[in-house]
Amino acid sequence: MPHDPYRALYLHIPFCASRCGYCDFATRACAADDKRMDEYVERLVLELRRKAKEGELSAIETVYVGGGTPTHLGHGRLSSLLYALSLSVDLAREGLEFTMEANPESLDGRLVKDMWALGANRLSLGVQSFDDEVLRLLGRPHTAQGALDAVAAARERFQNVSLDLMCGIPGQSRDSLEDSLRRAVALEVPHISVYPLSIERGTPFDKAVLAGLMEPADDDTQADHMLLAQQILQEAGYRRYEVASYAKPGFECRHNEAYWTGVPYLGLGEAAATMTQNAERRMRVTDGRVTDDLDRPQMEAEDLMLAMRMADGVSDGRLARAAEFLPGAPAALESLAADGYVVHEDGRWRPTEAGWLCGNDLYGRLFDLA
Ligand code: SF4
């Protein structure tokens, strides 16, 4: 279908040093010399150049190379990929954000310098915890010291560094989480994400829970951990701009914001989702399979739902535009406000803490409008 230009680009790297016990992402563990990584990068480079030639990359404003573990590709493969990217996308474009995802065990000073030289300007590090015991339990291949070394290496070039932490991990005490949050704050990185662990079907964690060998964190613990993160990070000057994301002013992740604000994105590589849209229709495709096919009212409902992941929610004006296609939207917001899930202030409808804690209910009631 004729579609609006893509403004965000995602490249998926489905390889890791080893598999974490909770992981259900599309990725596989492989050795550093595995030929599959060479072949994969070669295919990705060809795809990238083809898309550039077709003019699909001319309006790109954010790039995100994620996984998996992109840094597990190592210097040679990663440099080829980023070089092809620099020929395909105008990385010097004013304000362009280019994030590289990295894990501590495969990040070193040389890789940092190469990535920066080839155009990356944001580094997102999968730290998860600064507690070695928790890291072992998660099955992460790095240690707390390894994470500190990786942050120090990242700092050699990147100002815009983000750390991912996890909470609600089985066996993770409140003190352990607090210590990890405080150590992240002490590193003075401008962006921190805190994700609650969810135990997905078929993972080793799921099997351990079913066998009675692991006790998942209950809802109260998850909520308590999320509140602790909010309290510590807000006191340290971070703004919670999305349910799991905290940033110093001006360091919000624009690529992720694109996903939450209905910006069309192109995903390259296996398991990467592409979202294509025009005024009438929005489609998501992964591995050639259509996973979503939304008409305009459904698009509006989805935009309202996604906006509620963000602290700023939706403006009165945006709601009025949505109401042209979803006449029930203003009443739905009123009813969510009556339930304490959203609040109306300064011309915006914003999610409350209670709304985020009962996210499925909040998002579901908006999506059901269509
Ligand atoms: S590093 Fe991330 S993608 Fe790789 S196995 Fe662990 S959780 Fe999964």
246 and 304, same structural domain? no
Q: Which of 235, 258, 281 is the last residue of a domain?
A: 258
- Report the distance separating Cα 168 and Cα 301, nearest Å: 30
20 C-alpha to ligand 1 centroid (Å): 5
Return d(Cα 329, Cα 303) in angstroms, integer: 12
Q: Which domain holds residue 16?
A: 8-258
Residue 110 lies in a domain: yes
Domain identity same for 143 and 240: yes
147 by DSSP, 3-state: which? helix
Task: Please tell me whether residue 18 adopts helix, strand or coil conformation.
Answer: coil
Residue spans of beta strands (DSSP E) within 225-269? 239-242, 245-247, 265-268
Asked if 329 contacts 341 with a C-beta cutoff of 8 angstroms, the reply is no
* 128 shares a domain with 15: yes
Q: Is 256 helix (H, G, I), strand (E, B) or coil?
A: helix
| Residue 234, domain member (yes or no) | yes
248-258 burial: b if 16+ Cβ within 10 Å, else e? beebbbbbbbb
Q: Are 187 and 327 in the same domain?
A: no
pLDDT of amino acid 307: 94
Ligand 1 neighbours, Cβ below 6 Å, are 16, 19-20, 23, 25, 27, 67-69, 103, 126
- What CATH code is carried by the domain that includes residue 91? 3.20.20.70
pLDDT in tens, 226-263: 999 999 999 999 999 999 999 999 999 999 999 999 99
Sign of the alpha-carbon torsion through 42, 88, 150, 152 = positive
pTM comes to: 0.96
Structure confidence by residue, pLDDT tens digits, 258-290: 999 999 999 999 999 999 999 999 999 999 999
Residue 286 lies in a domain: no
Cα–Cα distance for residue pair 292/276, rounded to 1 Å:
10
158-171 pLDDT, tens digit per residue, is 999 999 999 999 98
* Closest ligand 1 atom to 139 CA: 6
pLDDT over threshold 90, residue 358: no
Please report the beta strands in 34-156, taking only residues with DSSP state E, as ranges in sequence order.
62-67, 97-102, 122-128
The pLDDT value recorded for residue 85 is 97
- End position of a domain, from candidates 258, 287, 307: 258
Q: Are residues 20 and 120 in the same domain?
A: yes
CATH code of the domain covering residue 308: 1.10.10
pLDDT 10s digits, 307-354: 999 999 999 999 999 999 999 999 999 999 999 999 999 999 999 999
State the pLDDT confidence band at 1, using cuts at 50, 70 and 90: confident
Read off the tokens for 60.
């790109």
Are 222 and 83 in the same domain?
A: yes
Are 311 and 218 in a shared domain? no
Answer yes or no: do 245 and 314 share one domain. Answer: no
Going by alpha carbons, the residue nearest to atom 6 of ligand 1 is 20
Per-chain mean pLDDT for the chain: 96
Q: How far is the CA of 19 from the centre of ligand 1 (A)?
A: 6
Q: Which whole number is the average pLDDT over 9-25?
A: 96
Residue 327 lies in a domain: yes
Choose the final residue of a domain: 258, 287, 306. Answer: 258
For residue 311, what are its two tokens?
Answer: 């602290």
Cα of 360 from ligand 1 centre, angstroms = 25
Nearest residue (by CA) to ligand 1, atom 5, is: 19
Tell me the CA–centroid distance for residue 137 and ligand 1, in Å. 14
Q: Cα(54)–Cα(362) distance, rounded to whole angstroms?
A: 40
Residue closest by Cα to atom 3 of ligand 1: 68
Is the pLDDT assigned to residue 360 strictly greater than 90? no
69 alpha carbon to ligand 1 midpoint, in Å? 7
For residues 312 and 246, state if they share a domain. Answer: no
Same domain, 190 and 307: no
Give the pLDDT score at 359.
87
- Domain assignment of residue 243, yes or no: yes
Which atom belonging to ligand 1 lies closest to the Cα atom of 16?
4
> How confident is the model at residue 161, as a pLDDT?
98
290 lies in a domain?
no
- Best substitution site from 15, 19, 72, 107 to test ligand 1's pocket, by max atoms within 8 Å of Cβ? 19
- Which tokens hold the place of 188? 């003075």
Question: What number does the ligand 1 atom closest to the CA of 24 have?
Answer: 8
Q: How far apart are CA 141 and CA 320, in angstroms?
A: 49
In a domain, 84, yes or no: yes
Domain check: are 193 and 328 in the same one? no
Residue 195 dihedral angles phi and psi, to the nearest 5°: -105, 135
Q: Is residue 3 one of the residues assigned to a domain?
A: no
- One domain for residues 176 and 112: yes
Bridge partners (DSSP) listed for residue 273: 286
Q: What is the distance between the alpha carbons of residues 322 and 297, in angstroms, rounded to a whole number?
A: 8
In which residue are the tokens 């009123």 written? 334
> Best substitution site from 20, 127, 199, 205 to test ligand 1's pocket, by max atoms within 8 Å of Cβ?
20
> Ligand 1 centre and the CA of 325: distance in Å?
40
Beta strand 265-268 with 8-13 is parallel
Two structure tokens written together for 228: 């602790």
Number of domains in the chain: 2
Residues 6+ apart with CB under 8 A from 46: none
Cα of 243 vs centre of ligand 1, distance in Å, is: 21
Pairing of strands 239-242, 191-196: unpaired
